[in-house]
Amino acid sequence: MLKCLATLLLLTIGGLAACSAGAAGEPAAALPPPAVAPMAPTSGTETAVLAGGCFWGVQGVYQHLKGVKNVLSGYAGGERTTANYESVSRGSTGHAESVQIVYDPKQVSYGQILQVFFSVVHDPTQLNRQGPDVGTQYRSAIFYANDSQRKVAEAYIAQLDAAQAFPDRIVTRVEALDRFFPAEDYHQDYLLNHPDQPYIVFHDLPKVRNFAKLMPALYQGKPVTVAAARSAGRTTPAASAPSAGGAAMMMSAKPEAEGGAMKNDAPGGAMKNDAPGGAMKNDAPGGAMMSSKNASGSPMTEGAIPELTGATGWLNSKPLTRASLRGKVVVFDFWTYSCINCLRAIPYVNAWYKHYKDSGLVIIGVHSPEFAFEKDTENVRKAVEKFGISYPVALDSNMALWKAFNNRFWPAHYFVDAQGNIRGHHFGEGKYARSERTIRKLLEEAGAKNLPDPLDDAAGQGVSAAADLANVASPETYLGFERAENFKSPGSFTRNAGKTYEIPAQLALNQWALGGRWKVVGEKSTLEAAPGRVVFRFRARDLHLVLGPGPERKPVRFRVLLDGKPPTADHGMDIDAQGAGTVREQRLYQLIRQKGAVEEHEFTIEFLDPHVEAYSFTFG
């Protein structure tokens, strides 16, 4: 799902999704330093501002560069009024996600900073994208502060192009720096605060490892941090802090938390993110993000909840309002029923509701659809019944509540006190005990007495079982052309028209292909004539595929093969041991669950009837 965290992160690995600076395992090489002499050392510190895709990973690399004193994530290239994550994510502000590097020129030169930039930080041949993140906000850019920086940058790009250091021409833009605006606090030190988050594991930690391996003379093991720089009172001379409403402020219900917010799509994926352009950021399992704490240990206020008038309908309840919730502790759970990350979180949300409803807890599931078929009320009603959801569900088919909360992820939990203030949040799977502690604290503040004992683990079964993140090496992958990655059928896609596709003789890990007559549109691939196949080379315990039977809802028979043979004991809950199954409704289908050691396999699904609609793979 898009940032279901996995979307995103991600590569949700399971559904992110919001930033990515290149695919995992992206080639890196220690390039020669600039031939043009770097600036001579001066007294004090200097700054460099660079953009190379999602700022999480770029910041994480430069925090390990010797001679660097501080690295801030932020925005450059646009106006103060749009220097905030929500605006920049639209891709139309002129801003690029950037980092400001404060460094000692006596210890590290500007040329060496650029050497690291081109060697391990990003792919400078990608135009307006890095990995799954697409848009001008993810462009490769060097923002020069003076003429000396401009000359070094332009000469170095010419030097690398002349040496054919990359298979394609460098598209990095060299732009004059007007102002740099620091990003929201939750973006700072994100990689360091969330090293287990799937997006970070899949996209960004490999860059740090490449830096240590390829450029040991420049690498330092102990990173500098924004938090330490602030504690020490160090300033960032080139930073121009935005006013309220700008990048330094979080408005209304938009969470202002330590830790992080958005990105999708890392293997296994703990969450999905909905950033424009298909970008995804995910705050994921283990990297669960809660609001910062005040001195007393109580969750801090992040803003009042918005009105709920944007809901297009309600299940399990009459319409609820902000006023009617006054005096209640509320958890808002943003989910969508084809998101694997959401399905793995539902058992915990169900357990919270059953355990604490008599103590005053209200849970509202906000169903914000990713795919068009998830706007169908009857589809949602069936999912609510299937997963045993008895708390109120607001149908958010127009994404009005999603926008009102400034949300970006599936799943996302917002914790609200009895006065209607958001007091904490968590994006993605994981950290359930921590979330429960927040619920208990808010109930106690509201006057609840004799709370029941804390819950034991509430992990689900079947498709809702927790992901095996240690063994997930495959990202969430979409089968519509708008967000597709690693598609390897010869000739690529013919958009919005039928075409007969072929499957190549061999696929590498995480590559996929179509076989047969398919029509590929923005969010899905539709089989026009049977038989038809989809082949994916993956590594994960679980493989899921979001499928639908087509507009006439006629059942579609299929069979699954694993390395050309029936899956037998490794079959998922939606097929039998011989791989046979039927698509009868629009939902996520669990097709593979490896019972033994998790290994790399070639997955094949062959559809025996036409008109099946295939949306996305997720893994766990």
Window from 34-38, 211-215, 334-338, 418-422 with minimum mean pLDDT? 34-38
pLDDT of 406? 84
Convert the pLDDT of each residue in 480-517 to its tens digit. Answer: 999 898 999 999 899 999 999 999 999 999 999 999 99
249 to 72, 85, 88, 243, 303: CA distances (angstroms): 15, 10, 14, 8, 12
233 to 69, 70, 472: CA distances (angstroms): 12, 11, 41
pLDDT of 135? 87
291 or 93: which leads in pLDDT? 93
pLDDT of 272? 53
Beta bridge partners of 74: 98, 182
pLDDT category at 207 given cuts 50, 70, 90 is very high
> Residue 541 and residue 339: Cα distance in Å, rounded?
17
What's the chain's average pLDDT?
A: 83
Judged on CB neighbours under 10 Å (0-12, 13-18, 19+), 309 is: exposed
Mark out the alpha helices in 428-547 (DSSP H runs): 432-445
The b-or-e profile of 518-540 (16+ CB within 10 A means b, else e) is: bbbbebbbbbeebebbbbbbbbb
Window from 227-231, 235-239, 349-353, 489-493 with minimum mean pLDDT? 235-239
pLDDT of 469? 74
> Residue 141 and residue 556: Cα distance in Å, rounded?
48
2 or 340: which leads in pLDDT? 340
pLDDT of 563? 97
pLDDT of 40? 59
pLDDT of 21? 30
CATH fold match for the domains 23-255 and 479-619: no
CATH superfamily of 23-255: Peptide methionine sulphoxide reductase MsrA (3.30.1060.10)
Pairing relationship of beta strands 409-410 and 580-583 according to DSSP bridges: unpaired
Q: Is a pLDDT exceeding 80 seen at residue 237?
A: no
Window from 285-299, 470-484, 538-552 with minimum mean pLDDT? 285-299
pLDDT of 292? 27
DSSP string, 226-261: HHHHHHTT---TTB----TTSTT---TTS---SS--
Q: Is a pLDDT exceeding 90 seen at residue 238?
A: no
pLDDT of 282? 35
Convert the pLDDT of each residue in 105-115 to its tens digit. Answer: 999 999 999 99
Tokens 């490999």, residue?
206
What fold, for 1-18+262-467? Glutaredoxin (3.40.30)
Phi-psi region of 129 (alpha: psi -120 to 50; beta: other; left: phi over 0): beta
Please report, rounded to a whole number, the percentage of residues in the chain having pLDDT higher than 70: 82
Helix %, strand %, coil % of the chain (to 5): 25, 25, 50
Residue 231 has which token pair?
A: 């504690």
Q: Is a pLDDT exceeding 50 seen at residue 158?
A: yes
pLDDT category at 253 given cuts 50, 70, 90 is very low
Convert the pLDDT of each residue in 524-556 to its tens digit. Answer: 999 999 999 999 999 999 999 999 998 889 999
Please report, rounded to a whole number, the percentage of residues in the chain having pLDDT higher than 90: 67
Cα end-to-end span (Å), the chain: 13
Task: State the pTM of this model.
Answer: 0.59
Residue 449 carries which DSSP code? -
pLDDT of 183? 93
Q: Is residue 281 within 8 Å of residue 264, measured between CB atoms?
A: yes
Helix 432-445 / helix 340-356 crossing angle, nearest 10 deg: 30
pLDDT category at 196 given cuts 50, 70, 90 is confident
Mean pLDDT of 181-187: 91
Convert the pLDDT of each residue in 361-377 to its tens digit. Answer: 999 999 999 999 999 99
- Assign domain 479-619 one CATH number from 3.40.50.300, 3.30.70.20, 2.60.120.260, 3.30.565.10: 2.60.120.260
User: For the chain, which residues make up each domain, given as ranges?
Assistant: 1-18+262-467, 23-255, 479-619
Q: Is a pLDDT exceeding 70 seen at residue 22?
A: no
Q: Is a pLDDT exceeding 60 seen at residue 447?
A: yes
pLDDT of 301? 58
408 or 591: which leads in pLDDT? 591
pLDDT of 336? 96
pLDDT of 288? 26
Mean pLDDT of 334-360: 94
Mean pLDDT of 99-123: 95
Convert the pLDDT of each residue in 25-54 to its tens digit. Answer: 455 787 999 988 655 566 789 999 999 999
613 to 87, 99, 531: CA distances (angstroms): 33, 41, 13
Window from 243-257, 260-274, 313-327 with minimum mean pLDDT? 243-257
pLDDT category at 590 given cuts 50, 70, 90 is very high
Q: Is a pLDDT exceeding 70 seen at residue 420?
A: yes
- Give the residue numbers annotated as catalytic, written as ranges: 54
Q: Is a pLDDT exceeding 80 seen at residue 561?
A: yes
pLDDT of 13? 35
469 or 472: which leads in pLDDT? 472
pLDDT of 90? 82
Q: Is residue 338 within 8 Å of residue 370, measured between CB atoms?
A: yes
> Residue 240 and residue 334: Cα distance in Å, rounded?
34
Q: Is a pLDDT exceeding 70 seen at residue 235?
A: no
